Chain A
Amino acid sequence: GNSVTQMEGPVTLSEEAFLTINCTYTATGYPSLFWYVQYPGEGLQLLLKATKADDKGSNKGFEATYRKETTSFHLEKGSVQVSDSAVYFCALSSSNTGNQFYFGTGTSLTVIP
């Protein structure tokens, strides 16, 4: 079956620190991979995506590379800001399962000045 495992939080970083949030997946077929972000009191926003192996998704300084050999899609940012404080969700979607989304448990990030 399909599933996503991401690192447990919460994560607390100082401003300008380097961020990595690990995400690994299990899937049948060739899934698309996503990172969604949820700011306090808001819905989920697509942060970035990758649809095939070796693709790199990037947005707002965040990056993640689709690694089929390690079944991973780790999120990175070189220098975090206070405004990046949010909950980050790794997710996959596959046409084999009706294109529904499977989410990880979410990782809460707090960036302190």
Chain B
Amino acid sequence: DTAVSQTPKYLVTQMGNDKSIKCEQNLGHDTMYWYKQDSKKFLKIMFSYNNKELIINETVPNRFSPKSPDKAHLNLHINSLELGDSAVYFCASRPRGRTEAFFGQGTRLTVV
């Protein structure tokens, strides 16, 4: 069973559309993250949630909004998509008391 599951794996959409990426972890972890990986493979934190509460919100456009309906889910909604939003988005989770994070398979978003 995949521990951190993201859907969809690939997403191709037109500029101006609104889309969502879902993330679920079945590990019972308290902390979840969203990271963006650009075309040069650079990874940058976007958001972090701990027990459904937002604890890190880096400088990302407010078109990006995370939503955590429960501790096992952290979904990413993106409004008014732009070409520059094309990237691979990774969800991750971290157990309480541990230092390492576990990553999902990534969602490759292509805006055309």
CB within 8 Å of B: which residues of A? 32, 34, 36, 38, 42-46, 49, 51, 87, 89, 93, 98-103, 105-106, 108
Once A89-B43, A99-B31 are accepted as A-B contacts, the answer to whether A32 and B56 lie under 8 Å apart by CB is: no
Alpha-carbon gap, A24 to B32, bound state (A): 26
Once A98-B48, A100-B33 are accepted as A-B contacts, the answer to whether A43 and B104 lie under 8 Å apart by CB is: yes
* In contact, A101 and B45 (Cβ under 8 angstroms): yes
* In contact, B48 and A105 (Cβ under 8 angstroms): no
Once A43-B103, A43-B105 are accepted as A-B contacts, the answer to whether A105 and B90 lie under 8 Å apart by CB is: no
* In contact, A100 and B45 (Cβ under 8 angstroms): yes
Residues of B within 8 A of A34 (CB): 99-100
Closest B residue, CB atoms, query A42: B105
Residues of B within 8 A of A105 (CB): 40-42
* In contact, B42 and A99 (Cβ under 8 angstroms): no
Once A49-B99, A105-B41, A106-B41 are accepted as A-B contacts, the answer to whether A99 and B94 lie under 8 Å apart by CB is: yes
Partner of B101, one of A42, A87, A101, A108: A101
* In contact, A106 and B42 (Cβ under 8 angstroms): yes
Residues of A within 8 A of B4 (CB): 43
